[in-house]
């Protein structure tokens, strides 16, 4: 339906859009009913924004949400509340720092916290979440429900979050406390978190297509009886950024004391690619980096079909209880590659347990290589959006996966031939962002998706449909060698007939290929507009579109 504005409203919106900015609105206090946000507005989390029991927050695809630094802005979904944040591949939901490009940093705001009523192994089956104090777990107020739902988070980014109130009392990028398995967590990227990127405290929630990008502490941390399933995970580290508590790829505890409390922490993970900080044996990295997987404090675990490379230590099975779990097959590692670690496998001194012999057990399909380069990924250590974690032709990661044993017959796990997070295609594009420090959010959330169209040099297509209301698609191609893995800066912007910029559709480094993006002009007045594609070579092509 055509939007109609009073004349004075048209003037206000024209001024706002001419400067490429969305109007802003503060989110603060408690949400007790249903609160629906709008993609047409940028929201600012001020203080702890609590969605209380019975409350629902609905976040449309393409919504931009800033976290306020001074008040430690955070979004907390409490027990009995729900979040419906269902983004799209070419229109993700973004939580990020409000600071301008070049000034953003880890810990600029709080983070996102979900609290549910699935089971934990905590005394009283509940506890206060780190950093915020909200209660997770059923306790005496709720009935334990491993099938509980806290809602949906899909195609969503969380950037520059994480507040440290005191040691071991921090807000992570995404914190999941006793969240139930009917909650949907898919296609979520946490970047530059000031503590862990993802942390699970108990619960049964599953997750797919998760990215931990250059966080400070651990990439994926599990505690207090977490028993969920995880598949297709990517972790990327910055060699210069690590935590004083020592940074790991996976950190796993049963509980803080290392007891055998039940339910036992027992995640099942398949298809992880963990890119540690050291790309080769000569790399200089922070001395605070430790292990690709630190399995400790009586945890059980299952790691399958994965690739872990470039860490000082590969797998560390820490403590007698954890080693006993490995010996009785409650802790499993199968069909997994370790590459480039200075020490591939370590354990505490446990009588009768040889971790090297255990890892290399015949039929388990585990492999070790001396260098990360032996895994033959395309560009795993490239900077920014030039990162390409796909296995190159001939890579040992393209085969060797198995979905028997613990994974057999489980409909959650997609059966694929490859080890690691990726085969021949990238599920992280176009919604993920590997240079959030320089991403321009003044015009809101914009994205671009790669298509299967054949590359025919530098080309900008006429938008379709045209005329349109309220959205249209724009396709373009960038010439060059796709095999090189190199990317170049690309911008696609929209201007009014006076030459004023009204929208940025693409502002990213892209390799050669064909792409498509969607332009939503619901805030623009009817009329003619020009869009322009520019690359580092300075080539520009202009087309005209008509908004009705």
| pLDDT mean across residues, the chain | 90
Record the pTM: 0.83
The strand ranges marked E within 288-342 are 291-296, 301-304, 307-309, 313-318, 331-334, 337-339
pLDDT at res. 51: 98
Would you call 330 helix, strand, or coil by DSSP?
coil
At 6 the pLDDT is: 27
pLDDT at position 184 over 50 = yes
Query: Across residues 42-48, what is the average pLDDT?
Result: 97
pLDDT digits (tens, 9 = 90+) for 490-539: 889 899 999 998 888 887 777 778 888 888 787 788 999 999 998 877 77
Percent of the chain with pLDDT over 70: 92
Residue 410 Cα distances to 61, 462, 497, angstroms: 30, 46, 57
Q: Which residues contact 455 (CB under 8 A, 6 or more apart)?
A: 477, 478, 479, 482, 512, 513, 514
Q: What is the pLDDT of residue 349?
A: 75
Average pLDDT rounded to a whole number, residues 192-207: 97
Whether the ω angle into residue 263 lies within 30 degrees of 0, i.e. cis, is: yes
> What average pLDDT does range 375-393 have in this prediction?
95
Q: Are 478 and 535 in contact (CB under 8 A)?
A: yes
pLDDT digits (tens, 9 = 90+) for 65-107: 999 999 999 999 999 999 999 998 888 999 999 999 899 999 9
Query: What pLDDT shows up at residue 243?
Result: 92
**Residue 271's closest CA among 431, 113, 422, 69?**
422
**Confidence band (pLDDT; 50, 70, 90) for 488?**
confident
Q: CA 214 to CA 381: how far, in whole Å? A: 12
d(CA 312, CA 198): 21
Mean pLDDT of 221-238: 98
Q: Residue 489 — very low, low, confident or very high, per pLDDT cuts 50/70/90?
A: confident
Distance CA 259, CA 311 (A): 28
Q: Which residues lie below 8 Å from residue 331, measured CB to CB, with a gap of 6+?
A: 295, 299, 300, 301, 302, 317, 322, 325
d(Cα 45, Cα 67) in Å, to the nearest integer?
A: 5
Q: Which of the 8 DSSP states describes residue 59?
A: E
CB 225 within 8 A of CB 119: yes
């Amino acid at each position: 339906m055509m939007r109609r504005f009073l004349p004075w409203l048209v003037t206000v919106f024209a001024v706002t859009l001419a400067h490429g900015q969305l109007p802003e609105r503060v989110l603060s206090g408690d949400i007790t009913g249903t609160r629906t946000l709008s993609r047409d507005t940028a929201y600012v989390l001020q203080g702890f924004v609590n969605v209380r029991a019975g409350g629902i927050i609905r976040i449309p695809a393409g919504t931009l949400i800033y976290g306020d630094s001074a008040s430690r802005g955070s979004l907390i979904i409490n027990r009995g509340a729900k979040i419906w944040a269902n983004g799209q591949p070419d229109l993700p939901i973004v939580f990020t720092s409000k600071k301008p490009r070049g000034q953003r940093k880890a810990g600029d705001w709080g983070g996102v916290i979900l609290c549910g009523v699935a089971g934990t192994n905590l005394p009283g089956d509940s506890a206060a979440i780190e950093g915020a104090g909200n209660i997770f777990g059923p306790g005496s107020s709720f009935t334990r429900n491993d099938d509980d739902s806290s809602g949906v988070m899909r195609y969503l980014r969380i950037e520059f979050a994480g507040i440290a109130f005191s040691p071991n009392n921090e807000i992570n990028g995404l914190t999941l406390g006793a969240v139930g398995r009917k909650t949907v967590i898919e296609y979520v990227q946490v970047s530059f978190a000031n503590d862990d990127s993802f942390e699970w405290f108990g619960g049964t929630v599953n997750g797919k297509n998760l990215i931990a990008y250059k966080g400070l502490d651990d990439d994926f941390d599990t505690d207090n009886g977490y028993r969920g399933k995880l598949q297709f995970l990517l972790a990327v580290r910055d060699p210069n950024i690590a935590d004083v508590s020592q940074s790991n790829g996976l950190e796993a505890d049963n509980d803080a004391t290392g007891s055998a409390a039940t339910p036992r922490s027992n995640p099942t993970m398949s298809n992880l690619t963990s890119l540690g900080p050291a790309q080769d044996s000569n790399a200089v990295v922070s001395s605070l980096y430790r292990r690709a997987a630190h399995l400790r404090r009586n945890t059980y675990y299952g790691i399958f079909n994965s690739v872990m490379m470039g860490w000082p230590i590969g797998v560390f099975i820490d403590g007698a209880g954890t080693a006993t779990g490995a010996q009785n097959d409650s802790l499993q590692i199968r069909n997994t590659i370790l590459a480039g670690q200075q020490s591939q496998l370590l354990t505490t001194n446990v009588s009768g347990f040889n971790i090297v012999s255990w890892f290399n057990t015949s039929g388990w399909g585990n492999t070790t290589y001396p260098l990360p380069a032996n895994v033959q990924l395309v560009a795993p250590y490239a900077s920014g959006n030039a990162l390409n974690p796909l296995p190159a032709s001939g890579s040992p990661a393209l085969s060797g996966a198995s979905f028997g044993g613990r994974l057999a017959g489980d409909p959650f796990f997609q059966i694929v031939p490859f080890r690691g997070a990726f085969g021949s295609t990238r599920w992280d594009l176009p919604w993920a962002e590997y240079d959030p420090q320089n991403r321009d959010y003044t015009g809101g959330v914009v994205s671009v998706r790669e298509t299967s169209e054949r590359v025919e040099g530098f080309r900008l297509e006429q938008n379709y449909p045209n005329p349109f209301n309220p959205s249209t698609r724009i396709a373009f191609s960038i010439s060059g060698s796709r095999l090189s893995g190199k990317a170049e800066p690309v911008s696609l912007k929209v201007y009014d007939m006076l030459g004023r910029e009204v929208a940025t559709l693409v502002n990213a480094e892209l390799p050669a290929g064909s792409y498509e993006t969607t332009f939503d002009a619901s805030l623009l007045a009817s009329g003619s507009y020009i869009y322009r594609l520019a690359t580092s070579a300075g080539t520009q092509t202009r087309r005209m579109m008509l908004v009705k």
